[in-house]
Chains A and B, each alone.
Chain A
Amino acid sequence: MAGCWKKPNVSAGKDVVLLHQLDRGVFTPSISPFPLKLETYLRMANIPYENDFKDPMGPKGKTPWMTLNGEDFSDSQLCLELLASTFGKDFSSHLTEAERAIGRTFQIMAEEHLYWVVVLWRWVYTKGKTLWAIQMNFPAPLRFIMPIFVRRMKGQASAQGMGRHSQEEVIEMGMKDLRAMSAYLGIKPYFMGDTPTEMDCAMFGMLAMIVWCMPGSPFEQHMKGEFINLKDFCERMKDQFWPDWNQCLLPPRV
């Protein structure tokens, strides 16, 4: 499995992915769901890769992005599909068309709906204050310009639609999403059965935020109670694809 740290002054070789993402978090290898999804997929698919933490924002203003054989690609899902096609990987080939459809819908629920609940909680309701607890090396001046980021995220959430609801309504929507995910996962080890598929990487990326990166949130408690199977799923994915999890934190844990 590729290491967690970028080797200085070494560019990625042929068919080696250079993954550009935010720096490591205190509790998770990334405090953003999409880099965590993509890096988990790279590990699941055994695709060689290196990390670059210096240039996390790509040409579309999104993170993560990747460089492969000199070409840049943005958007975690487009990257994942390109890698699957380039390296001939398909972890969903055993699923029926209806099952793959269900997999897609749950991934979209996580990345296009629950994601905005997380954004609103992290940036608007807590005004970005939890970032200092989950990411170590934010520069101190960022504290002073945090209101600008808060306003920007609020604007984006408002444009998407969820930001126009009350906090109570948003939290309730998040609970309903988690309840649906928990109900669908049930007692299965992974969302689509006994073996992990691509959508498990996406679900892990999002759910890991709730398990480890939202201290004090109303969801955190439920993950230890009503949605315990979602937490168990996260632990399972972590054990299977991140045996070096502690070394991929900042600061690294012994």
Chain B
Amino acid sequence: MASQSKRAWQSKHCLLRHFCPCKSAGMLEQAIESLTAIWKNERGLIVASAGVAASLYFLASKIYAVREKSQLRKKWNSAPKDVVILHQLPRGKFTPSISPFPLKLETYLRMAGIRYENDFTEPKSLENKTPWITLNGEDVADSQICLELLADKFQKDFSCHLSPEEKATARAFQIMAEDHFYWTGVLWRWVYTKGKTLRQIHATFAPPLSLKIPLVCRRMKSQAIGQGLGRHAEKDVIEMGIKDLRAMSHYLGNKSYFMGEEPTELDCAMFGMLAQLVWNMPGSPFERLLNSELPNLKRFCERMKDRFWSDWDQCLLPVPL
């Protein structure tokens, strides 16, 4: 065994002399021999030192993260009274958010004329949901809970003119969009196209962040299976999504907004979801449907964009020229 390793060592040195046929090869050989000797004699010390260094680095980065968070918390808590801090993902290339729920909530803030500031550094709440808000030092997660809280606090009610039956219908459509159709979008984006469209619609999904995409795909697939839709064949899922979109289109009809000629809270939710189809699902069967059979849904999105997002282009990343 000793003679084998010696022959391997000599062979390696021959290769070295072949590729560096000059005085530096000799110096390099000496350096390698010294390092090997140090490793043999001080292996335990080296490993222990590396462990200590790694632990110190880990501790330092944790302390830094805690300090950063504490500074962010001070900043959020010191926001002016009744100004909402909206925590969400960074801007998309074609929409202010590539997720329907932040877009819904931000659209609502604009519709209700509620002052707000964006925070893109901490998009996930403690419950791992996005978006979430901080208002007067208090954190609230889930877009719908946030919306209802804001409506109550700022006394905004865009649905007061609706009958109980119409309000019920509005709730049903919102749930269809956010609890059913949403999953067909998730499956298309993360499972059927394996997350590949992310790079097209979001600038910050460059490497190394894009290396995480397969992990996210696996997690989303698992969530969709837990929810139920992920257990169906792709063609069945797409068909279910198409049926949802047809129902939305038939109900919208020729109206400007889903519940009539003035927008309500429901329209923020529908816009958040449908905007993903119009601008963020390139090549999907849903995009094709909105461009062919169901143009009224696309027109609805354009209408909401024009009304509440006059600065749409400035809310994209990168900002278009």
Distance of B250 from chain A, by nearest CB (Å): 4
Query: Chain A residues near B248 (CB, 8 Å)?
Result: 101
Contact of B169 among A62, A75, A105, A164 (CB under 8 A): A105
Query: Chain B residues near A61 (CB, 8 Å)?
Result: 231
Q: Is the CB of B127 within 8 A of A106?
A: no
Q: Which of B49-57, B170-178, B273-281 contacts A (4 or more CB under 8 A)?
A: B170-178
Q: Is the CB of B165 within 8 A of A184?
A: yes
Q: Is the CB of A186 within 8 A of B165?
A: yes
Query: Chain B residues near A126 (CB, 8 Å)?
Result: none
Query: Chain B residues near A112 (CB, 8 Å)?
Result: 175-176, 179-180, 228
- Size band of the A side of the interface? 35 or more
Q: Is the CB of A183 within 8 A of B165?
A: yes
A176 at interface (Cβ–Cβ under 8 A)?
Answer: yes
Q: Which of A132-140, A153-161, A215-223 contacts B (4 or more CB under 8 A)?
A: A153-161
Instruction: Report the Cα distance A108→B227, complex, angstroms.
Output: 13
Query: Chain A residues near B247 (CB, 8 Å)?
Result: 100-101, 104-105
Query: Chain A residues near B250 (CB, 8 Å)?
Result: 97-98, 100-101
How many pairs of residues, A versus B, come closer than 8 Å at their CB atoms? 93
Contact of B223 among A104, A160, A180, A186 (CB under 8 A): A160
Instruction: Report the Cα distance A155→B232, complex, angstroms.
Output: 19
Query: Chain A residues near B246 (CB, 8 Å)?
Result: 101
Instruction: Report the Cα distance A181→B253, complex, angstroms.
Output: 23
Query: Chain B residues near A158 (CB, 8 Å)?
Result: 226
User: For B128, B173, B222, which residue has the most chain A Cβ atoms within 10 angstroms?
Assistant: B173
Distance of A239 from chain B, by nearest CB (Å): 25
B142 at interface (Cβ–Cβ under 8 A)?
Answer: yes
Interface string of B232-272 (1 = CB under 8 A from A): 10001000000110111011010000000000000000000
CB contacts under 8 Å to A, within B141-198, are 142, 145, 164-165, 167-169, 171-173, 175-176, 179-180
Distance of A95 from chain B, by nearest CB (Å): 11
Instruction: Report the Cα distance A164→B222, complex, angstroms.
Output: 16
Contact of B167 among A60, A105, A164, A180 (CB under 8 A): A180
A169 at interface (Cβ–Cβ under 8 A)?
Answer: yes
Q: Is the CB of B169 within 8 A of A159?
A: no
Q: Is the CB of A180 within 8 A of B127?
A: no
Residue of B nearest to A111 (CB): B180
Instruction: Report the Cα distance A109→B171, complex, angstroms.
Output: 9
Residue of A nearest to B225 (CB): A159
Q: Is the CB of A102 within 8 A of B171?
A: no
Contact of B253 among A78, A98, A108, A156 (CB under 8 A): A98
Query: Chain B residues near A186 (CB, 8 Å)?
Result: 165
With A101-B250, A105-B247 as contacts: A78 and B236 at CB distance below 8 Å: yes
B218 at interface (Cβ–Cβ under 8 A)?
Answer: no
Query: Chain A residues near B303 (CB, 8 Å)?
Result: none
Query: Chain A residues near B175 (CB, 8 Å)?
Result: 105, 108-109, 112-113, 177
Instruction: Report the Cα distance A176→B174, complex, angstroms.
Output: 13
Interface string of A157-171 (1 = CB under 8 A from B): 111110011000100
With A105-B247, A164-B128 as contacts: A176 and B171 at CB distance below 8 Å: yes
B129 at interface (Cβ–Cβ under 8 A)?
Answer: yes
Q: Is the CB of A160 within 8 A of B226?
A: yes
Query: Chain A residues near B224 (CB, 8 Å)?
Result: 159
Instruction: Report the Cα distance A225→B108, complex, angstroms.
Output: 34
With A102-B172, A108-B180 as contacts: A159 and B222 at CB distance below 8 Å: yes
Residue of B nearest to A182 (CB): B168
Instruction: Report the Cα distance A181→B168, complex, angstroms.
Output: 7
Q: Is the CB of A164 within 8 A of B168?
A: no
With A101-B251, A112-B179, A183-B168 as contacts: A165 and B226 at CB distance below 8 Å: no
Q: Is the CB of A159 within 8 A of B226?
A: yes
Q: Is the CB of B251 within 8 A of A102?
A: yes
Query: Chain A residues near B251 (CB, 8 Å)?
Result: 98, 101-102, 105
Instruction: Report the Cα distance A73→B244, complex, angstroms.
Output: 22
Contact of B176 among A105, A156, A159 (CB under 8 A): A105
Q: Is the CB of A62 within 8 A of B142?
A: no
Contact of B232 among A75, A100, A177 (CB under 8 A): A75
With A101-B247, A183-B168 as contacts: A109 and B176 at CB distance below 8 Å: yes
Instruction: Report the Cα distance A75→B239, complex, angstroms.
Output: 14
Q: Is the CB of A156 within 8 A of B227?
A: yes
Distance of B88 from chain A, by nearest CB (Å): 17
Distance of A58 from chain B, by nearest CB (Å): 10
Given A108-B179, A159-B222, 14 more A-B residue pairs with CB atoms under 8 Å apart are A60-B232, A100-B250, A101-B246, A101-B250, A102-B251, A105-B172, A108-B244, A109-B175, A112-B228, A113-B175, A113-B179, A156-B226, A177-B175, A184-B172
User: Could you list 11 A-B pairs, sorted by A, with CB under 8 Å?
Assistant: A60-B231, A101-B248, A102-B172, A102-B251, A105-B176, A155-B226, A159-B227, A161-B227, A177-B175, A183-B164, A186-B165
| A interface residues with partner B (beta carbon < 8 Å) | 60-62, 75, 78, 97-98, 100-102, 104-106, 108-109, 112-113, 155-161, 164-165, 169, 176-177, 179-181, 183-184, 186
